[in-house]
């Protein structure tokens, strides 16, 4: 071991000696450091220079390192403008903790630090340099803050920045901000108003979730994304206008906004996501734009005051539970482009007395009209081929149903608890068979006479065939 150590030391000495030799074969003599390529500092930017060392004898460059020169101080006039560079003095509130950014020319707000101010804080400049970013969770949970002013040098506010600042009442956002990040203001239950700069083009997931005091907001024209949960549980919302560049309203975006009455969807909105307006119990009517083609799963579930829906003919997709439990809904104009109505789309619409179905409709899912207790009569279109289980379950006032000529499959319990059903019209009563299993090919023929009479068919559908699948094979 000792021999190895001696050999290693000898090798290192040899390498150092060889490195110190010039191409001329002599040992370099180091000069004093020399400054080259010097750039003078300004109020806003550090200066730089190269520190170079040469050989005194042969003048060969031996090393070069970049060094920095401290910025010169600003010289402010009475209007707080620097007389040298024109920089506006907007110092941040004392005690806030900042970190110098990698560019060496700006700062980021890191945390509340030793700041003890409870009323208002200002985020502007620090140490004579602009603050350009507010970092992840910087002021999260600062429960005594009431007002925040952010100067225009800030361009990025990271996620959770002000989450759960429960006493925050107002905030001034910077002019260049583009994204309201993930859960930035979630749980700011005292926030009453906010003005978006025109540059904001995205409101991320949960950005204002639970801001229960936030009243109406105006979205900038350039906004293209309202993500899921963005304004969920904003109980003070009374009206909202979704601007034309928002192609999709995210899932649960305005869910449980219990005082939301007026919704305006601009032409350009193409998709309403799942549960977007779930449990918005104050909405009374809505007009859907012609640009809309998809209404998502449970989009208006539980909108118990919704009475009327005006729908353009471009809507092609109507998701499950889309208008379920809309107990005040009396009428709806369905798009002629809808070919499928999915599970429980109108289940529990207890005020729906009648509905005209589109001629191109080919299938009805399970429970589509279950517990529509005010529905009295319905005619199904001729192209409708498939009807799921329990379609009219609990429709206690239903007296007459007319099946179109194209019907080929009927699920179980179609008319369960339809106590007043008197007539079921089969336009084509021939070729029907019943089976116990939905996928089974083992079936039994149904006599044509059992279905050719509307009154007899009503009795059979509530008796003999209630728990069987009916098929045309």
The 10s digit of each residue's pLDDT in 275-324 is 999 999 999 999 999 999 999 999 999 999 999 999 999 999 999 999 99
- From CA 268, how far away is CA 265, in angstroms rounded? 8
- From CA 350, how far away is CA 367, in angstroms rounded? 14
Residue 8 host element (H or E): helix 2-20
- Which residue has 């080919």 as its token pair? 362
Position 72 scores a pLDDT of 72
Position 69 scores a pLDDT of 81
Q: With H, G, I as helix, E, B as strand and everything else as coil, classify residue 456.
A: helix
- From CA 386, how far away is CA 407, in angstroms rounded? 6
Q: What is the C-alpha R_g of the chain? A: 36
Tens place of pLDDT for every residue, the chain, 473 residues?
444 556 555 555 444 444 555 556 678 888 889 998 998 887 667 788 999 999 888 888 888 998 888 767 767 666 666 766 666 657 889 899 999 999 888 999 999 999 887 688 999 999 889 999 999 999 999 999 999 999 999 999 999 999 999 999 999 999 999 999 999 999 999 999 999 999 999 999 999 999 999 988 999 999 999 999 999 999 999 999 999 999 999 999 999 999 999 999 999 999 999 999 999 999 999 999 999 999 999 999 999 999 999 999 999 999 999 999 999 999 888 999 999 999 999 999 999 998 999 999 999 999 999 999 999 999 999 999 999 999 999 999 999 999 999 999 999 999 999 999 999 999 999 999 999 888 777 899 999 999 999 999 999 999 888 999 999 97
Position 14 scores a pLDDT of 46
- From CA 20, how far away is CA 401, in angstroms rounded? 102
- Which residue has 């517990």 as its token pair? 371
Q: What is the DSSP letter of 18?
A: H
Residue 224 and residue 204 in contact, taking contact as beta carbons nearer than 8 Å: no
Provide the whole-model pTM. 0.81
Helical spans, DSSP H, in 371-411: none
List domains and CATH numbers for the chain: 21-73 (no CATH), 339-473 (3.80.10.10)
Taking the C-alpha atoms of 210, 214, 215 and 219 in order, what is their torsion angle to the nearest 10 degrees? -90
Residue 245 and residue 269 in contact, taking contact as beta carbons nearer than 8 Å: no
- From CA 238, how far away is CA 215, in angstroms rounded? 7
Position 145 scores a pLDDT of 93
The 10s digit of each residue's pLDDT in 62-112 is 889 988 887 677 676 666 667 666 666 578 898 999 999 998 889 999 999
């Amino acid at each position: 071991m000792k021999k190895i150590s001696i050999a290693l030391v000898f090798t290192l000495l040899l390498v150092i000696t060889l490195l110190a030799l010039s191409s001329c074969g002599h040992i370099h003599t180091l000069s004093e450091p020399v400054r080259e390529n010097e750039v003078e500092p300004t109020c806003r930017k550090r200066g730089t220079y190269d520190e170079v060392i040469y050989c005194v004898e042969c003048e060969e460059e031996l090393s070069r390192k970049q060094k920095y020169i401290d910025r010169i101080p600003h010289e402010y006039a009475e209007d707080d403008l620097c007389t040298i560079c024109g920089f506006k003095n907007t110092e941040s509130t004392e005690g806030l903790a900042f970190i110098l950014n990698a560019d060496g020319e700006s700062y980021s707000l890191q945390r509340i630090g030793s700041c003890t101010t409870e009323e208002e804080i200002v985020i502007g400049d620090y140490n004579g340099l602009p603050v350009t970013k507010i970092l992840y969770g910087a002021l999260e949970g600062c429960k005594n803050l009431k007002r925040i002013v952010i100067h225009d040098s800030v361009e990025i506010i990271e996620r959770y920045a002000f989450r759960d600042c429960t006493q925050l009442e107002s905030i001034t956002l910077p002019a260049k901000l583009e994204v309201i990040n993930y859960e930035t203001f979630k749980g700011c239950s005292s926030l009453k108003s906010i003005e978006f700069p025109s540059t904001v083009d995205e409101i991320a997931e949960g950005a204002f979730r639970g801001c229960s005091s936030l009243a109406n907001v105006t979205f900038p024209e350039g906004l293209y994304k309202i993500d899921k949960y963005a304004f969920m549980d904003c109980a003070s919302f009374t009206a909202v206008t979704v601007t034309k560049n928002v192609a999709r309203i995210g899932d649960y975006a305005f869910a449980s906004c219990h005082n939301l009455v007026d919704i305006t969807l601009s032409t350009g909105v193409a998709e309403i996501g799942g549960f977007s307006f779930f449990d918005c119990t104050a909405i009374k009517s809505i007009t859907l734009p012609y640009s809309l083609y998809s209404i998502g799963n449970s989009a208006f579930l539980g909108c118990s005051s919704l009475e009327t829906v005006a729908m353009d003919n471009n809507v092609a997709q109507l998701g499950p539970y889309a208008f379920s439990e809309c107990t005040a809904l009396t009428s709806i104009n369905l798009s002629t482009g809808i070919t499928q109505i999915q599970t429980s789309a109108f289940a529990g619409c207890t005020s729906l007395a009648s509905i005209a179905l589109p001629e191109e409709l080919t299938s009805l899912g399970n429970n589509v009209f279950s517990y529509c207790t005010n529905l009295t009569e319905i005619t199904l279109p001729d192209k409708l081929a498939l009807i799921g289980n329990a379609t009219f379950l609990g429709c206690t006032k239903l007296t007459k149903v007319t099946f179109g000529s194209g019907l080929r499959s009927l699920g179980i319990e179609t008319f369960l608890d339809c106590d007043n059903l008197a007539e079921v019209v089969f336009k084509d009563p021939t070729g029907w068979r019943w089976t116990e299993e939905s996928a089974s090919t083992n079936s039994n023929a149904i006599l044509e006479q059992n279905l050719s009479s509307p009154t007899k068919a009503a009795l059979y559908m509530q008796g003999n065939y209630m728990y069987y699948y009916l098929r045309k094979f």
